Amino acid sequence: MSASVPGQAVHSLWTVAAPTDRIPTPHIEYAQLSPVLIVFGVAALGVLVEAFLPRRSRYTAQVALAAVGLAAAFAAVVALADKGYGTTKAHIAAMGAVAVDGPALFLQGTILLVGFVAVFTFAERRLDPRAHGSQVDSFAAQGSAVPGSDQEKAAVRAGFTSTEVFPLLMFAVGGMLIFPAANDLLTLFVALEVFSLPLYILCALARRNRLMSQEAAVKYFLLGAFSSAFLLFGIALLYGYAGTVSYSGISAVIDGSAPLTPALADTTGNDALLLIGLAMVAMGLLFKVGAVPFHMWTPDVYQGAPTPVTGFMASATKVAAFGALLRLLYVVLPGMRWDWRPVMWGVAIITMLAGAIIAVTQTDVKRLLAYSSIAHAGFILAGVIATTPDGISSVLFYLAAYSFVTLGAFAVVTLVRDAGGEATHLSRWAGLGRRSPLVAAVFAVFLLAFAGIPLTSGFAGKFAVFKAASEGGAMPLVIVGVISSAVAAFFYIRVIVLMFFSEPRPDGPTVAVPSAMTSTAIAVGVAVTLVLGLAPQYFLDLADKAGVFVR
C-alpha cells in the first residue's frame, strides 16, 4: 500500500496543476500567408526532387518548379493587394507575428519578381564550354567535394551539376518574404536565419575559382554570425526593457501608452536597455544592407560568389533588409525619432561617401559594383531618414528600381569571358563596345541608371528619395548625396569610356552567346530601367498607396 503513495502524490500534483481550460488553437490566416506558404512548399518539393528523381531529370524539374512556384506566389501577392489587404484590410496575421499591409505586399512582390528573374540566371548552361560532353552551369559539379580533389574531378567527368541550388534559392526567397513583414522580433530573427543560411551555402558553390568562392562564403558566414549575435542580443535587451517582443507592445511601452506594471516600472526607468538594444538590432539590419561601417563583407563576397548568386543577393537582400529596417524605425520607434535620426544621418553620410570614393579605386567589375551597392545603401538611407509618408514610398520605389538594374548588370558580367571563366578585371573590358556593341550598350544603360542619369530608373529613384529627405528637413544629407552621386558618376562613365573609346586587346575576352534564360533576365532589367525612367509616375503612385504600415 505504501509503495503506491508516491505515484498517487505525483498524480494529484498533475491534476492540481492541470489548467481548467484547453490550450487555445492558434489562429493562422493561411490565405493571407499564401505567398510565403507557396514558396516554402515549392522549396520542400525541390528537396524531394533531389532525393527521388534521377540526376538527368532534376535540372528541368527544378527550373520549372522554381519558376512556377515564384509566379504563383507573385499571383497570390497581387490577389491580396487587389482584395485591399495593402490598404483598407491591412492587419496583423498569424497571432501577431506577421503584418499584411502595403509595404509588406509591395516588397514581397518585388522580391518574388527578382527571384523569378534570378532563376533564369541560375539556370543558364550555355556560357561555359561543355565539360566531357555535358552542358554545365555556374555552380560546382559537386558542392561537397574538396576543390581540386579526385572526387571533384570525377564529378566533373561525370557531368554532374548542383541542381540543389534551386531549393536553396527558394528557401532564401521564403525567408526574405517574411523578413520585411515580421511584426515581432523573434519572427524577424528566424526569418533572417532562414534566408541567410542558404545564401552562405550558395556563395561557396562557384564552378570556377572554387577556393575564392569558399573563402567568400566563410567570410560572409563568420561576419553574418556576428551580426546575428548582435541582433539576438539586442532583441534580448529590448525584451528586458518592454517585457514583450511584439512591435506594437514595444512601441506602446516607449510612448507610455502601455499599462504600467511593477516589472515595467523597474525596467522603463532605465533607458540604457532600450538604447543599447535598439543599437544592436539596427547593427544586425545595417549589416544586411551593407551600410558603412558594417560593409566589410560586401566586396569580397560579391567578388567570390558565383555571379548569378551575387546578382540575386545584391538585389533581393537589400529589398528585404530595408523593408525590415523601415518597419522597425517607423512602427516600433516613431517616439524615438530624435534618438535614432542623428545616428542614421552619420551612417548615411559615411556610407554614401565611402561607397563612392572607394569605388573609384577598384579594378574588378564585381568589386566596383559592390562598392556601388554600398553607395546606393546610403542613398536609400536618405529616404529612410525622411520620417514622412513620402520617405516610405520613395524607398519602396528606389528598391524596386535598383534591384532590377543590379540583377541585369550582374547578368551582363556573366557574358564577358576568357579561358579562365568570367573576365572581371576592368582592363579586360577595354574595347568591348567594338567587339560586342549590343552587350556594351546594355551594360552602359545599367551604369547610367546607377549614376542617376535622367530617363533611367536610377534618376527617378534618386530624385524621389532626395526630395523626401529635403522635405523631411535633411537638406545637408541631400547635398552630400548629390556630391556622392557626382563622384560615382565618374567611375561609371569611366567604364563606358573604356568600353567604347579604347582599342580592343588582341587577347581580349569574348562575349558568350547566352541562351534565352540570361537574355530574358537582361531584357527584363533593361525594360524595367527604361520604363521606370521614362514613365515612373504610375509606379510612384503605386508605392505611395503601399506606403502605410499597419500598427
d(CA 173, CA 167): 10
Point out the least confidently predicted range of 89-103, 278-292, 437-451. Answer: 89-103
**Grid coordinates belonging to 118:** 534570378
Contact call for residues 416 and 123 (beta carbons, < 8 A): no
pLDDT given at position 2: 46
Which band of pLDDT confidence, cut at 50, 70 and 90, is reported for residue 236?
very high
Mean pLDDT across 372-382? 93
**Grid coordinates belonging to 108:** 514581397
Q: 3-class SS at 125?
A: coil
Which band of pLDDT confidence, cut at 50, 70 and 90, is reported for residue 336?
confident
Task: Give ∠ CA 111-289-118 in degrees, rounded to 5.
Answer: 30
pTM for the model: 0.91
- Is 92's pLDDT higher than 70? yes
Q: 3-class SS at 100?
A: strand
Residue 330: how many CA atoms within 13 Å on its side-chain side? 26
Long-range contacts of range 536-539, CB-CB < 8 Å, 24 or more positions apart? 536/397, 536/457, 536/460, 539/397, 539/400
- Is 8's pLDDT higher than 60? no
